[in-house]
């Protein structure tokens, strides 16, 4: 994991637990074939996810209890912003 990307991402998402969940979910999406929104020198999907967060291309939304349905704890939902082709 690139510490520079982590520090930049921490400035966008202040809560470390939410940052961890958002980055992990995005890294999983990338590993399953999702297209990255940034160019990253690292082959590590977590680095790419952190860079996307740091660049402001990825954020989160926490659903209300009604939106969460029967889930005991509401998890953050990834919200991506559309970007131009790289």
Give the pLDDT score at 45: 95
Which residues on neighbouring strands pair with residue 80, listed in sequence order?
58
Q: What is the mean pLDDT of residues 4-25?
A: 94
Report the alpha-carbon distance of residue 35 to residue 48 in Å, rounded.
11
CA dist., res. 86 & res. 71, Å (int) = 37
**In this predicted model, what pLDDT tens digit does every residue of 31-75 receive, in sequence order?**
999 999 999 988 999 999 999 999 999 878 887 776 656 555 567
Q: What is the pTM of this model?
A: 0.76
Domain residue ranges of the chain, discontinuous segments joined by +:
3-80
| Distance in angstroms (rounded) separating the CA atoms of residues 66 and 40 | 37
pLDDT band with cut points at 50, 70 and 90 for residue 86: very low
| pLDDT in the model for residue 20 | 94
Hey, which CATH number is domain 3-80, 3.40.50.720, 3.90.940.10, 3.40.640.10, 3.40.710.10? 3.90.940.10
């Amino acid at each position: 994991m690139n510490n520079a990307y982590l520090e930049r991402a921490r400035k966008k998402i202040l809560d470390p637990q939410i940052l961890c969940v958002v980055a992990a979910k995005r890294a999983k999406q990338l590993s399953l074939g999702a297209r990255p929104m940034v160019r990253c020198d690292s082959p590590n999907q977590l680095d790419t996810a952190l860079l996307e967060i740091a660049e402001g291309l990825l954020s989160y939304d926490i659903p209300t209890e009604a939106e969460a349905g029967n889930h005991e704890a509401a998890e953050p939902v990834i919200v991506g912003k559309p970007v131009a082709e790289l």
